[in-house]
Amino acid sequence: MAAPSSKRHLGRFGWTCLAAATSLCLTSSAFAASDVLRGEFAKVLEAIEKGEQEQVPDELAAYPLYPYLESKRLRRQIWKAPGDETDVAIIDWLDDNAALPLAKDFRADWLNSLPKRGEWARLHQYYEPTSRGSLQCHYVNARTRLEPKADVLADAKAQYLVGQSQPDACDPVFDWLEEQGELTDGLVRERAKLAMEAGQPNLVRYLLRQLPDDDSIQGYAQAWLTMRQGSARYIESVVKSRELPEAFEPIVEEAFKRLSRFDSERAWELLVPFTEVFGDRKTLLLRSRRDVAVGLAYDRDARAIPMFRTVPGYMLGPSAREWRVRSAMYFQDWEQVRTWIGEMPEEQRGEETWQYWLARAEVATGHPADARKRFREVAQERSYYGYLAADELSLPYAMNHVRAPVRANVQDNFRSLSGAERAREWYLIDRPREARVEWKAVTENLEKSDLMQAAQVAQSWGWYEQAIITLAQSQYWSDLDIRYPLPWSNEVIPLASEFGITPEDIWAITRSESLFARDAHSYAGARGLMQLMPATAREVARRDSIRYGGVSDLYDPTTNLRLGSRYLAELLERYDGSLALAAAAYNAGPHRVDRWKPAYPVETAIWAENIPFNATRGYVQKVLKHATGFHWQRTGQPMRVSQRMGDIQPDIEVAE
């Protein structure tokens, strides 16, 4: 008998249950919030969060998000009035609302407050598994106080044996290990090895201080630390000493890899004397040559090709095999391109990237029939390489737009799910973070066919970000109305006209940067729809006298689109209209793109393929693909990618 599926079907019922093990049903509701009630909730929510209101009005009890008002009030009480009364109220709330997705964060915040009051038993009782490292350690700390050593020891060691620095909350657990005599030199040594593997020199130094000076790992670890302070100096010292214990060979290998990535010229120079002194270290030399070859390829140095020829194919991983092909491609050695693609494993060789470039190599080496057949196969794809292949044969693009099937009853059932209602209400009061949590919870166990309907629901709300994501999760790729919406058209089209660029350029950058999430915030600090860094926004605003009041303005779509569009226009002007170069500069910075520019004219597709940053290379290809999709959506005709390509000229005057 087939095992029961944990996926949920929405087609027959207005409510569904998750897997039986959870005993949790997602009930439907006929409730439809009025604008007045929604507005009142938003005002009360803001007042409670600011501490301006303590009471939760009963008049809002029918509103789908009503339980969260009490959780917001109690969240403030955690710090304002900690104690049994607050804890009991929180426990009661969690018992009544455990099914709410945002309850997990509330529980975690509360539990994190308990150690300060020594409430270890309460933490132990109400803990639930979490990804928060500090809370994990607090829980293990509670267990060391309340459980037998044998039951806790393995988990305490697991918290310790991590190659990264752990939160301060873990220190009591590590102190307990030491008190129990379990923080042995062997355990410290094992963590030091993990820290070296993770590239954490500060943690390695800290751990070495806990070991005897004559510990077996001291010599190796000190050599590793020396290498991390300067790869070139370390290799020079090894060559000068003419001594290299076999156990230290991985350090030399890492040194060549690091140096090749950041200074391939110096790595090339040092490889010669190293080979003269340690010519008998065949495996180490082959690995070092491989890494130097990859570094030279990153820097578009012709010496990469002969260096790759000295390295047997079995020494190359997937990335090195790709860079071997890219180096030959950059210098128009098409016979070598054809040979090296042919030597890729079948799965890698079958990727559309390498099928396209293999066809290009076949054209250049006198195999036009094979090339045409391969181009036609790749051109069937709605993708960057599919568009390039179609341009080679002057074929129409395979846009193949087919709207996702509409199942009105399924969409109605989905809308009526309490989780979907909560997601919509959070979205309508402009709380996208909470809306995403609810949406993820209500869609995570849906069948693909139901995800397709959920995507259409999100689209009908104007929630383009989740519509695109959810449609992708359904693995239905042909509804271009969902994949390429035209949001903020009233702003984007006039801005494009004002700044002399196309609307598609703006939409393509925005989709690639934030997926139309106006509250997007990157780890690097970029903000808003077009992911502008505050410094960039400030400079663009100053140069063009654009009104800009500070970082918070970047979350305003109108301001963000104006500043971002103006910056994009500046980049397009700087790079003579090349969308590929402008997109690369938008992603990685103009200073890098200027450094990557060739010494002689290079076809843009070849240049883009040789961008050394994987993320930027993918970003450029994505922007060109999306610009094509948006042009099709706006005009009914796709923009030919080749029209935005051409050759990159070395003598382009770069404006300062």
Backbone phi and psi for residue 540, each to the nearest 5 degrees, phi listed first: -65, -45
Distance of CA 637 to the CA centre of its chain: 31
Neighbour tally for 218: CB within 10 Å: 15
The tokens describing 423, both together, are: 């997601």
The tokens describing 620, both together, are: 């450029």
Residues ≥6 apart with Cβ < 8 Å to 541: 547, 548, 563
Strand-pairing partners, residue 446, are: 8
Contact 630, 505 (CB under 8 A): no
**Type of residue found at 306:** P
Q: How far apart are CA 639 and CA 433, in angstroms?
A: 35
Place of tokens 């094979």: 370
Surface-to-core class of residue 520, CB atoms within 10 Å of its CB (0-12 exposed, 13-18 middle, 19+ buried): buried
Tell me whether residue 513 is one of the annotated catalytic residues.
Answer: yes
Pick the catalytic residue from 119, 362, 504, 513: 513
Contact 193, 251 (CB under 8 A): no
Q: At what angle do helices 218-229 and 249-262 cross, to 10 degrees?
A: 10
The tokens describing 548, both together, are: 């800009």
Backbone phi and psi for residue 281, each to the nearest 5 degrees, phi listed first: -90, 70
What DSSP designation does 181 have? T
Give, in order, the Cα–Cα distances in Å from 345 to each of 312, 350, 351, 369. Answer: 14, 9, 10, 23
Contact 655, 594 (CB under 8 A): no
DSSP, collapsed to helix, strand or coil, labels residue 380 as coil
Place of tokens 């790709």: 322
CA angle 357, 477, 509 (to 5 degrees): 70
Closest CA to 387 of 596, 576, 643, 214: 643
Contact 39, 59 (CB under 8 A): no
The tokens describing 141, both together, are: 């700390």
Give, in order, the Cα–Cα distances in Å from 592 to each of 299, 461, 583, 653. Answer: 12, 40, 12, 16
Q: Report the catalytic residues.
A: 513
